[in-house]
């Protein structure tokens, strides 16, 4: 499996949001999209999810034009975890995770034993079995994030596109979610994750792509992307020397 | 635990279905005038069967079947609309489809189209319903807040009512006015099997289209973008539901007149029973709607009044306070 994107450009309301961005993704890869607010990370992710169209450029999944793949086929292969997920009705956790099976269901087919087994496995992996009968609106922020991630994983996607899945989570939940993404890649999947936390990006992602004002400023292994020059240019940050060891940032904690 | 959930769902379905059958049977036997039935039983055996049969097949049966169909339509449409707009206040009555259907039907009645061509009435109802719904939708926009939706609905409802009033105003004879007004109050009495046949095709087609939207409505729980990423074509879903609701509500309203609040109350009462899942709510809400309308129709037969109270009037009188309570509660949850 691979995604090949070339020269993607998007204008929203006459304003260029993405300018000739390239992107590649292969099986097993955890790719981090970083960059300041408004750099075009979410737009790029929505393009890859097939939610919006680019004005120019080409976007292919396994050498097939992405938008030429029927939506229901695409949905089986690519899952999208939105940034601010709203859940309109107070479903129980298990029901909500089961919704992730919808890409695999026909209009009239209900969930079968197989679907329920997959849901069970995903709930185990994301450690939310204890919550299964709780209503979604009664959960804490960290629990919600895990449940929504479980929903996305329940569709057994090859590619997971996650938009800031760790925003507003405490450090241990951040590590938990990032480990789940990492596990998805180890199992042969691929993940593109939008991150603001550069330490997490450095620690978990094999490759980073730094967007700035709609263009790619740098792309490659974390050590090559997170340089003082790039950070100064993208974020206007001055990086202190003590924070870097071996050209990398430290992740100051890990899970027990 | 998981099988427990599904069994509960099946039990709920069976319970409601049994309740519906029971109500339908009692509705066949109970009437505002108990005498004809008893007279028939004590009359000469030769006459008995014919009178009984006549009352049952010509009077009671159409009434019961039409009430069942119309009630199910209202419950189902309410559930579908609320799922689509992700808003517990969206109903056929509020989103214009009912008053649009009424306007269409009144136009058909007024210009005598229905006497020339039997299907003119439901077809006019369907077009009116669809037009009103699309207008409300365009006015309010997707993801509309409760307030915007209510405003848009009120605007279109007012417009439809104004046009109906205009037609009443211009009606050639007081008799025609009375006929139209009585029709609009909403009732399932004095309907024939013929009315049932007129109503049936649009109703069934509408139901089928709506019940096919279960997964789409479920996915919409997660928001429009996520639903799209799950392979749900939102435009298709919207139009399928609009057309389905227009078909079903148009058919129902053109035969029964406007019967309000069932589409609002029933999905709301049923929702906790299905764990708030919009897809599962559809069938349950349809059963609930049929039960509710049969109950209301039984009630109007048994309430002692000089003139029989129209069932649409009863549902409105009971439903309006419920609506107020819903608004107060949703205001409370917002603050």
Average pLDDT in chain A? 91
B243 membership: H or E segment, kind and range? helix B234-256
Asked if pLDDT for residue B106 goes beyond 70, the answer is: yes
Q: What residue of A is the nearest CA neighbor of B213?
A: A107
| A202-227: pLDDT as tens digits | 999 999 999 999 999 999 999 899 88
Q: Report how far residue A117's alpha carbon sits from residue A142's, in angstroms, rounded to the nearest whole number.
A: 24
Q: Residues of B134-145 as b/e, b for ≥16 C-beta within 10 angstroms?
A: bbbbebbeeebe
Whole-angstrom distance, CA of residue B294 vs CA of residue B28: 10
Nearest Cα to Cα of residue B119 among B250, B210, B242, B209: B250
For residues B147 and B330, give the distance between their C-alpha atoms in angstroms, rounded to a whole number.
11
Q: What is the mean pLDDT of chain B?
A: 85
List the single best residue of A81, A89, A112 to mutate versus B (max B Cβ within 10 A): A89
With a pLDDT cut of 90, the percent of chain A lying above it is: 75
Residue B281 has pLDDT above 60, yes or no: yes
Domain assignment of residue A189, yes or no: yes
- Kindly state whether residue A1 falls inside one of the protein's structural domains: no
Phi, psi of B111 (to 5 degrees): -90, 10
Put simply, the answer to whether B222 touches A76 (Cβ < 8 Å) is: no
Q: Inform me whether the pLDDT recorded for A248 exceeds 80.
A: no
Residues of B in contact with A155 (CB under 8 A): 230
Distance of CA B19 to the CA centre of its chain: 19
pLDDT of amino acid A26? 96
Q: List the single range of A175-184, B37-46, B233-242, B312-321 with lowest mean pLDDT.
A: B37-46
Contact B2 A116 (CB under 8 A): yes
> What CATH number does residue A176 fall under?
3.40.50.300
Q: How many domains does chain B have?
A: 1
Separation CA B176–CA B2 (nearest Å): 59
Residue owning tokens 């046949």: B197
The 10s digit of each residue's pLDDT in B54-82 is 777 777 889 999 999 999 999 999 999 99
Domain membership flag for residue A214: yes
Contact B233 A71 (CB under 8 A): yes
Say how many domains are in chain A.
1
Distance CA B292, CA B275 (A): 21
Residue of A240, A208, A236 whose CA lies nearest to A222: A208
Cβ–Cβ under 8 Å, residues B198 and B255: yes
Confidence at residue B230, expressed as pLDDT on a 0 to 100 scale:
96
The residue of chain B with its CA nearest to that of A156 is B230
Residue A193, domain extent: 26-42+73-249
Is residue A244 very low, low, confident or very high in pLDDT (cuts 50, 70, 90)? low
Do the beta carbons of residue A32 and residue A196 sit within 8 Å? no
| A160 falls within a domain | yes
Q: Given pLDDT bands bounded at 50, 70 and 90, which one contains residue B7?
A: low
Give me the pLDDT at residue B145, please.
67
pLDDT of residue A245: 54
Predicted local distance difference test score (pLDDT) of residue A186 = 95
Given CB atoms, is B215 within the 8 Å cutoff of chain A? Answer: yes
Token code pair at residue B39: 């007279």
Q: Give chain A positions within 8 Å (CB) of B225.
A: 46, 51, 80, 82
pLDDT level of residue B183 (50, 70, 90 thresholds): confident
A244-251 mean pLDDT: 59
Classify the C-alpha dihedral A203-A207-A212-A217 as positive or negative.
Answer: positive
Average pLDDT over residues A103-109: 82
Distances (CA, A) of B306 to A51, B35, B299, B300, B309: 61, 17, 14, 11, 9
User: At B209, is the pLDDT very low, low, confident or very high (cuts 50, 70, 90)?
Assistant: very high
pLDDT tens track for B129-158: 999 988 888 887 765 666 777 788 889 999
Q: Which two tokens stand for residue B257?
A: 């007149």
> What's the CATH number where B198 sits?
1.10.3470.10
Alpha carbons A86 and B220: distance in angstroms, whole number: 10
Q: Which of residues 265-304 of B touch A (CB under 8 A)?
A: 271, 275-278
């Amino acid at each position: 499996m691979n995604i090949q994107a070339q020269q993607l450009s998007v204008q929203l309301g006459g304003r260029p949001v993405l300018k000739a961005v390239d992107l590649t993704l292969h099986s097993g890869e955890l790719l981090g999209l970083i960059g300041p607010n408004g750099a075009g990370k979410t737009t790029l992710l929505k393009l890859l999810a097939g939610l919006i169209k680019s004005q120019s450029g080409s976007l292919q999944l396994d050498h097939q034009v992405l938008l030429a793949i029927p939506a229901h086929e695409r949905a089986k292969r690519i899952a999208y975890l939105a940034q601010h997920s709203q859940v309109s009705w107070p479903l129980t956790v298990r029901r909500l995770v089961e919704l992730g099976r919808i890409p695999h269901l026909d209009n009239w087919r209900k969930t079968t034993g197989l679907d329920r087994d997959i849901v069970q496995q995903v709930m185990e992996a994301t450690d939310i079995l204890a919550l299964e009968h709780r209503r979604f609106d009664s959960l804490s922020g960290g629990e919600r994030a895990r449940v929504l991630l479980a929903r996305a994983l329940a569709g057994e996607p090859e590619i997971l596109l996650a938009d800031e899945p760790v925003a507003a989570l405490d450090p241990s939940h951040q590590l938990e979610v990032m480990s789940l993404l990492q596990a998805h890649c180890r199992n042969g999947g691929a993940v593109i994750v939008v991150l603001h936390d550069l330490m997490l990006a450095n620690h978990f992602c094999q490759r980073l792509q730094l967007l700035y004002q709609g263009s790619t400023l740098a792309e490659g292994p974390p050590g090559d992307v997170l340089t003082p020059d790039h950070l100064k240019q993208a974020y206007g940050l001055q990086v202190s020397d003590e924070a870097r060891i071996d050209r990398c940032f430290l992740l100051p904690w890990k899970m027990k | 635990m998981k099988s427990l959930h599904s069994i509960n769902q099946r039990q709920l379905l069976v319970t409601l279905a049994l309740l519906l059958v029971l109500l339908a049977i009692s509705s066949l036997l109970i009437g505002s005038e108990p005498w004809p039935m008893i007279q028939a039983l004590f009359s000469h055996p030769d006459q008995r069967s014919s009178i009984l049969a006549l009352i049952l097949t010509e009077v009671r049966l159409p009434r019961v079947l039409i009430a069942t169909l119309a009630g199910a339509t209202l419950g189902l449409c309410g559930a579908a609309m609320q799922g689509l707009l992700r808003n517990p206040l969206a109903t056929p009555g509020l989103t214009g489809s009912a008053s649009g259907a009424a306007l269409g039907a009144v136009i058909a009645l007024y210009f005598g189209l229905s006497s020339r061509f039997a299907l003119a009435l439901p077809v006019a109802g369907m077009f009116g319903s669809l037009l009103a719904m699309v207008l409300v939708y365009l006015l309010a926009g997707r993801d509309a807040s409760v307030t915007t939706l209510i405003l848009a609905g009120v605007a279109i409802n007012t417009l439809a009512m104004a046009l109906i009033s205009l037609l009443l105003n211009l009606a050639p004879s007081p008799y025609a006015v009375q006929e139209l007004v009585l029709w609009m109050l909403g009732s399932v009495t004095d309907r024939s099997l013929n009315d049932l046949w007129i109503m049936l095709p649009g109703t069934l087609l509408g139901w089928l289209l709506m019940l096919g939207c279960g997964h789409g409505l479920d996915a919409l729980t997660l928001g429009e973008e996520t639903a799209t990423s799950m392979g749900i074509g939102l435009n298709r879903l919207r139009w399928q539901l609009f057309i389905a609701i227009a078909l079903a509500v148009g058919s129902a309203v053109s035969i029964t007149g406007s019967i309000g609040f069932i589409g609002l109350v029933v999905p709301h009462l049923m929702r906790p029973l299905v764990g708030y899942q919009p897809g599962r709510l559809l069938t349950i809400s349809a059963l609930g709607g049929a039960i509710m309308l049969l109950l209301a129709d039984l009630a109007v037969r048994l309430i002692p009044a000089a003139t029989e109270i129209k069932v649409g009037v009863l549902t409105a009188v009971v439903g309006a306070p419920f609506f107020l309570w819903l608004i107060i509660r949703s205001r409370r949850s917002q603050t």
